Amino acid sequence: MREEGLSPREREIALAYANGDTYHRIAERLCIAPSTVRTHLATIYRKLEISSKLELHKVLEGGRPTYIADGDQAAIISELALSLEEAISRERALSEVLRIISGSEGRITEVIESLLGYALELCDAEFGLLLEYKAESGFRATYTKGIPPAFHEWWVEQGDYQPNPKTAIGRMAASYDVVNIVDVRAEKISRTDDPLRNATTDLGGARSFTAIPMLAGKRLIGAFTIYRQQLRPFDEKTVHLARMFADQSAIAIENARMMSELRSKIGPPE
């Protein structure tokens, strides 16, 4: 059987993925990065000479792949197959925010936690923050996911924070547009004593980074800041989908706030 060529770790990942687990769920269970899960899957697809998740399931059940390739062709096919499956997964994550909006019922904490998780899944990243923004006081890290404890503590200590306009978050706040950085350590500001940039690189271990504004109409209400500790830039298609997700997330948060305020005014049901 072709699957006998898989290592125990590869087989474990293959089974989980074939049964519907996402990169993130597999990564959390195995205590590895989502990008490592993807690397394993690319190897698995090449070893098994398959081009889809359906074929992966079929081979693991003892069947044979529909089409057999070898060498460079197999590598290209596995890459294209995973890219297509990732695109489908992103579209599903994007549609999930609509379910969150309709089902929130004012539970703003639950909404924001869910949104950050889906934003990370959408961008295939393991480290992220959801920052709330007020023009008079700046940004506050309302929720974080996956970031190192020292970086989390740094944000807690800052409270409301007005970033240097040359940082990614500062540039995003000024432009109301996505800031996508291939390598944060290569930017000039990383060679200064800017506290936010130093915390991001030294405490957070960030390399590739994107800051995505959340706009309610023409008003900035927050941002997703998402990064990878590997030098693996976010592609334009991913960033475009993440921007769409952020716009819908702003609606979800505003709706949850309004419902929460209305409930507090009306009071509990008798």
Calpha distance 93→115 (Å, rounded) = 10
- Placement of tokens 């979800």 in the chain: 252
Strands 127-134 and 219-228: antiparallel
Q: Is residue 230 within 8 Å of 205, Cβ to Cβ?
A: no
Q: Structural domain boundaries of the chain?
A: 2-85, 104-266
Q: Is residue 43 within 8 Å of 31, Cβ to Cβ?
A: no
Identify the CATH assignment for 2-85 out of 3.40.50.2000, 3.40.50.2300, 1.20.140.10, 1.10.10.10. 1.10.10.10
Neighbours of 240 (CB within 10 A): 11
Calpha distance 180→238 (Å, rounded) = 11
CA trace torsion 101, 105, 106, 110 (10° rounding) = -70
Strands 138-145 and 179-181: unpaired
CATH of the domain spanning 104-266: 3.30.450.40
Per-residue pLDDT of the chain (270 residues; tens, 9 = 90+): 455 678 889 889 989 888 878 777 788 888 887 778 888 888 888 888 777 777 887 888 777 655 555 555 555 555 555 665 666 565 666 566 656 655 655 566 666 777 788 788 778 888 999 999 998 999 999 899 999 999 999 999 999 999 999 999 999 999 999 999 999 999 999 999 999 999 999 999 999 999 999 998 888 999 999 999 989 899 887 888 788 778 877 777 776 667 666 666 665 545
- Extract the tokens encoding 195: 């506290």
Q: What is the pTM of this model?
A: 0.65
The percent helix, strand, coil of the chain (3-state, each to 5) is: 60, 15, 25
